[in-house]
Amino acid sequence: MSVATPTATKLWIKDPLAVFNGAISGPDAERDCAGGLVVQGSTILECVAAGQRPTGTIDDIFDAHRYVLMPGLINTHHHFYQTLTRCLPAAINQPLFPWLQTLYPIWSGLTAKHIELATEIACWELMLSGATTVADHHYVFNHALSDAIDIQAEVVGRLGVRATLTRGSMSLSQKDGGLPPDSVVQSEQQMLEDSQRLIKRYHDADDGSMLQLALAPCSPFSVTQSLMCETAQLAKRHRVRLHTHLGETIDENDFCLKKLGMRPVDYLEHCGWMGPQTWLAHGIHFDPSEIRRLGEAQIGIAYCPTSNMVLASGICPTLDLAAAGCHIGMAVDGSASNDSSNMIQELRHSLMQQRLRYRADQITHLQVLNWGTQGSASVLGRDDIGVLAPGKQADLGLYQLDGLNFSGAHDPLAALILCGASQVSKLMVAGKWLIEDAEQTRAQLNQLKAQHHQFAKQLVG
């Protein structure tokens, strides 16, 4: 499917049904966009107040009175390749470590075509749910798959979606006391050299960047200490971000104490990772002193509620982490532990799960919408996306509340979350309409879906 080119014309997205700015505090939260937005090129030119008209001449108008308008959702952690192993009978009722040990031998058979199809399916699934920025953590590299990140970069570029791709790594196989088989680990030299190559080739740190790179050793129990330390130094030299899994399960804490002689947060600090350049997937099992230290370091947390429930990992202490100084963003995690890639549904799950830990008036629909937009942007180290304001990127999701589940709803923004929205109606990235008719887009993806399913069956055998 081709991607349209933005023009210098001024488009007024006029009089939406409701607007969420992305922010729940600060000047952007007070910005009046009730009259819509003016988009020119890749950015938002103007926010239009209720009952007002834009400044100057307008070239085109989109009547948005039937749509809820908000910043595009931002996914901060995923494993695209796992779309090929959803609902695998041997894995679906397992906690994390046995789940990984069941799936690693299957993932060791991944090929370039698997990665291409899985990336495209995952991106479209995210986009159809309202995501304009996707992040992926790929760490499985076998002898036939040394260029997985290059393949992903080609796919996201072709689709026109904004992306943060992380070069994952694993160096501790089963013979070294780790979990993955020998066939999916690489030497430290291989991983560091390829990480440097990928940064130089793809990373764009400028405002409006469509593709950024980060470095992401898989977890403390799958890499050596030297690789953790060297990766941190490499990221510092090239000014890129760091990402890993941390604090997901109690088993992880026990493993680190046994193998490393320290808890995961202590290990993170020992390896030079404690700083605002780092974001962590999951972040559940921290004690109060660790939460304080993570906050002081301004660590980002990719909160993955659905995966945490599927694997019975626990509930992320979001408000405690945020109060300490951490950035909180949303993530679907891999599609073998979700088993979906639907960002707007993830926000609903986050509200429900967090209300098991905090009061209802503390976890509101506005709070989770913020985590999925401005919060996620902060986790990825970006201030050019995630909010509706002049000069920010024109990454927009528009939702129609026309399903039976919305009938009788009085607050459109609350309805998105509480009534269970699942599909965006229109999606814009950098001023380009990537989805103009969601149903038509889904129909056009039937051939891709059939091919992906065929390759999934072939991978599992």
pLDDT in tens, 87-144: 999 999 998 889 998 999 999 999 999 999 999 999 999 999 999 999 999 999 988 8
Q: How far apart are CA 122 and CA 257, in angstroms?
A: 35
How much is the pLDDT for 259? 87
Rounded to an integer, what distance in angstroms lies between the CA atom of residue 245 and that of residue 267? 13
Average pLDDT of the residues in 277-292 = 98
CATH class of 73-379: alpha beta
| 184 has a pLDDT exceeding 90 | no
For residues 441-449, average pLDDT: 96
The answer, yes or no, to whether residue 66 has pLDDT greater than 80, is yes
pLDDT higher than threshold 70 for residue 3: no
Q: Report pLDDT for 144.
A: 82
Say what the pLDDT of residue 403 is: 96
Confidence of residue 1 (pLDDT cuts 50, 70, 90): very low
> Would you state the structure tokens that stand for residue 442, as one six-digit string?
């889904």
The answer to whether the CB of 412 falls within 8 A of the CB of 68 is yes
Summarize the confidence of residues 452-458 as an average pLDDT.
97
Q: What is the pLDDT of residues 13-32, one digit of tens each?
A: 999 999 999 999 888 888 99
State whether residue 327 is helix, strand or coil: strand
DSSP state of 5: P
The enclosing H or E element of 166 equals: strand 162-169
At residue 418 the predicted structure's pLDDT band, cuts being 50, 70 and 90, is very high
Over residues 52-71, the mean pLDDT reads 97
CA nearest to 370, candidates 354, 357, 356: 354
State which amino acid sits at residue 322.
Answer: A
Residue pair 288/333 in contact by the 8 Å Cβ criterion: no
DSSP 450: H
CA 66 from chain centre, in angstroms, equals 28
282 SS3 class: strand
Give me the mean pLDDT over the 284-300 stretch.
98
Candidates 122, 123, 167, 117; CA nearest to 141 is 167
- Fold designation for 10-71+387-444: Urease, subunit C; domain 1 (2.30.40)
- Do strands 396-400 and 67-71 pair parallel, antiparallel, or not at all (unpaired)? antiparallel
Do 83 and 452 touch, CB atoms closer than 8 A? yes
Which residue bears the tokens 């939260």?
Answer: 29
pLDDT score for 2: 43
Give the closest residue to 376 by CA, choosing from 20, 22, 18, 19: 22
The pLDDT score that the predictor gives to residue 47 is 97
pLDDT of res. 58: 97
Amino acid 72: pLDDT: 98
Say which amino acid occupies 410: H
CA gap 180, 164 in Å, rounded: 25
Q: What percent of the chain has pLDDT over 90?
A: 88
Q: Which two tokens stand for residue 350?
A: 């986050």
The amino acid sitting at 240 is: V
Q: CB-based contacts of 263: which residues, under 8 Å, 6+ apart?
A: 253, 256, 257, 290
3 state SS of 141: coil
Residue type, 391: G
Per DSSP, 206 falls in state S
Task: Tell whether the model's pLDDT for residue 311 goes beyond 80.
Answer: yes
Q: What is the pLDDT of residue 405?
A: 97
∠ CA 402-40-123, rounded to 5°? 55
pLDDT at 191 over 80: yes
Tokens 């960002």 — which residue?
343
Question: For 214-231, how does the pLDDT look when each residue is reduced to its tens digit (9 = 90+)?
Answer: 999 999 878 999 999 999
First to last CA, the chain: 31
Q: Work out the average pLDDT over 44-58.
A: 96
Helix axes 250-260, 96-107, angle to 10 degrees: 80
Average pLDDT over residues 142-164: 95
pLDDT score of 15: 98
Residues of the chain with CATH 2.30.40.10: 10-71+387-444
pLDDT classification of 179: cutoffs 50, 70, 90? confident
Q: From CA 29, how far away is CA 48, in angstroms rounded?
A: 14
> 77 near 331, Cβ under 8 Å?
yes
Q: Is the pLDDT of residue 392 over 70?
A: yes
Domain with CATH 3.20.20.140 in the chain: 73-379
Q: Please give the average per-residue pLDDT across 443-461, as a whole number.
A: 96
Task: Using a pLDDT cut of 70, give the percent of the chain over it.
Answer: 98
> What pLDDT, on the 0 to 100 scale, is given for residue 177?
75
pLDDT at 125: 98
Residue where the block lists tokens 């790594």: 169
> Which amino acid belongs to residue 215?
L
Nearest residue to 319 (alpha-carbon basis) of 268, 273, 281, 370: 370
Helix (H) / strand (E) containing 96? helix 96-107
pLDDT tops 80 at residue 8 = no
Say whether pLDDT at 7 is over 80. no
Strands 278-282 and 300-303: what pairing?
parallel
Name the least confident of 2-16, 130-144, 161-175: 2-16
pLDDT at 255: 87
